[in-house]
Structure 1
Amino acid sequence: MTGQRLLDIQDGHNFRDLGGYETKDGRHVKWHRLIRSGSLAHLNEHDLSTLAAIPVTIDIDLRAPEEVKQAPDKLPQNASYYHLPVFKSDETDASHSDEEIMSRILKPGNGYQHMLDVYRRMVEVPTAKAAYQRMFELLLSNNPTQATLFHCTAGKDRTGMAAYLILSALQVPEETILKDYLLTNKATQSFREQWLQMLRDKGENEVVVENRRALGSVSVDYLNQTIDLINTNYGNVQNYLTEYFDLSPTDLKQLQQLYLD
């Protein structure tokens, strides 16, 4: 499986290995150490065996409590589960029905604007800070031969922010991180287009469909807003990691020793 970015998962979406990315100093992220994904709620035996073989031993669930209750994770063998909610409720709307967010999807552009607000809040709210701080603690504690998987419902926003922070801590260039972030759109394209066509077939108008498209995909604007906000408030992402998340130079060096070749 070395070199395989998209994992062979049948009953889940957006399962990706972060291995192979080159750092600013020419090192590379190790394969089979960092896995990002969408929901684990519907995995079949093949999927669970695939994750167990990596082996995934830490499962970090970034979803809100009601998402976990509605669709609990299925864990690969020998994996420990950690619930680290970024938000108190699902602010990304990944788990919400059209009826639940009707007021948000009836006005043109609301989906896009809502996602910009979500990303702003991920930089600032205490629950997000606590979740990502604990995530780094777990990354520092994992065995060098085992993998950590981190996920939310769609594996794109809360998970995308986590990947941005981790890869930044490992000194992966911002351009590479943005490419990984946008890979969500390619990895989920077929599923999303089928879903949007289903909305059209149900009679939804194009305003609803386009708002749902914005809510169900990623945009470079979302992550760039995050980066701009971090740079404005902290100077750069490295200062954000050390000042906001209290990662010491020793912590960052240890992360790089654990996850880079």
Structure 2
Amino acid sequence: MNPIQRIPLEGLFNTRDLGGIETMDGYRVRPRRLIRSGQLYHMTENDKKVLSDEYGLKSIVDFRTLDEQAEKPDPHIEGATHISNPILQTMTAGITHDEASEKMTLEEATLAMKENGVDPSFYMQKLYEDIITSDYSLKQYAQFFRILAGQEEGATLWHCSAGKDRVGMGTAMLLYTLDVDMDTIIDDYMMTAAFLKDEVELILKRLSAAITDPGQIESLRICMGVKKNYIKRVFQIMEETSGSIRQFLKDRIGLSESLADTLKALYLE
């Protein structure tokens, strides 16, 4: 049974150590080395201490846009280096739980969906398709893997805003490269829904004061969530584009056999 558990932090709800996840050939991801997360803005001083002292955090890879980073910068954590690595050049509605952008992006997007008869699940899947076919985004994911390959000790934490879409896709590609089975990859991706459930409901409760249309609220809920078909579609596009997932990762993201072997040597035991 592959353990998928969040790190019990005070101000962060979707931060988890990938340690312990099993590969198909009997190895396990080393604990306290690979951490996925949502934004760090609300972390407490105790959270900083946990990540620094207990997890040996050395690098923070920020997948958010430059505007997102400027609006809610990562707190300083002793001993950790912040690395800006935006997966998108500009903010896109549907991929964030950031309160400052909810009304500006998600509400406008869901209203436009309703007016144009667009299903919000289809809209979200299209966002994933756009990311995995974007030369810019693929270049940024390639940089992420090079960062991981150079991290010989301590933990690397990567995050976006909610920790569900940009981080979800990057983590899925990483686990696939480490030879984790597809069911476990999807289970890890879907755990975001459980970890963020209370936060999403709190946000929707606040927004419901200004949005009285139940249909729009439901669309917002969908845009703040994850579905299996989103990440499955990403892998399907890889196969359609390059003949196999492995070949796509090699051709489009630079995950050569040599780089994959380096990642396995660093992060598996």
Percentage of identical aligned residues: 28
Q: Given the alignment, which residue of 195, 212, 219 partners 1:204?
A: 212
State the secondary structure of the residue aligned to 1:58.
strand
Residue 208 of structure 2: SS of its match in structure 1?
helix
Distance (whole Å) between structure 1 residues aligned to residue 242 and residue 158 of structure 2: 25
| 1:136 aligns with one of 142, 145, 165 | 145
CA contact under 8 A between 1:109 and 1:211: conserved in structure 2?
A: no
Q: Do the aligned partners of 1:36 and 1:163 also contact (CA within 8 Å) in 2?
A: yes
**TM-score, normalized by length of structure 2?**
0.91
- Name the SS for the 1:148 alignment partner: strand
Corresponding position of 2:136: 127
Over 3 Å counting, the alpha-carbon distance change for 1:41 and 1:221 in structure 2 is: same
For residue 236 of structure 1, report the CA deviation from its aligned partner. 2.1
Where do 1:1-261 residues align within 5 Å? 5-53=5-53, 54-91=55-92, 92-94=94-96, 95=98, 96-106=101-111, 107=114, 109-144=118-153, 146-261=154-269
Output the TM-score relative to the length of structure 1: 0.93
Q: Distance in 1 between matches of 2:142 and 2:23?
A: 22
| CA gap 1:100/1:253 in 2 versus in 1, 3 angstroms | closer
Tell me how far apart the structure 1 counterparts of residues 36 and 170 of structure 2 sit (CA, whole Å).
Answer: 9
User: Which ranges of structure 2 fall in alignment gaps of 5 or more residues?
Assistant: none
Deviations, residues 82-125 of structure 1 (Å, cap 9, x unaligned): 11111111224413222444442121654322211210112111
Q: Distance in 2 between matches of 1:257 and 1:224?
A: 27
Within 1, Cα distance between the matches of 2:192 and 2:4? 15
2:249–2:255 Cα contact (<8 Å) kept: yes
Contact 1:150 1:159 in 2 (8 A): yes
d(CA) in 1 for partners of 2:174, 2:160: 16
| C-alpha RMSD over aligned residues | 1.6
Asked if 2 retains the 8 angstrom alpha-carbon contact of 1:64 and 1:87, the reply is yes
Gaps of at least 5 residues in structure 1 are: none
Matched position secondary structure for 1:149: strand
Larger deviation: 31-40 or 124-133? 124-133
For residues 147-193 of structure 1, what are the alpha-carbon distances to aligned partners after superposition, in whole Å with 9 as ceiling and x for unaligned?
A: 11000000000000110111011000111000000000111111112
Count of residues paired in the alignment: 258
Contact 2:4 2:18 in 1 (8 A): no
Does structure 1 conserve the Cα–Cα contact (< 8 Å) formed by 2:19 and 2:34? yes
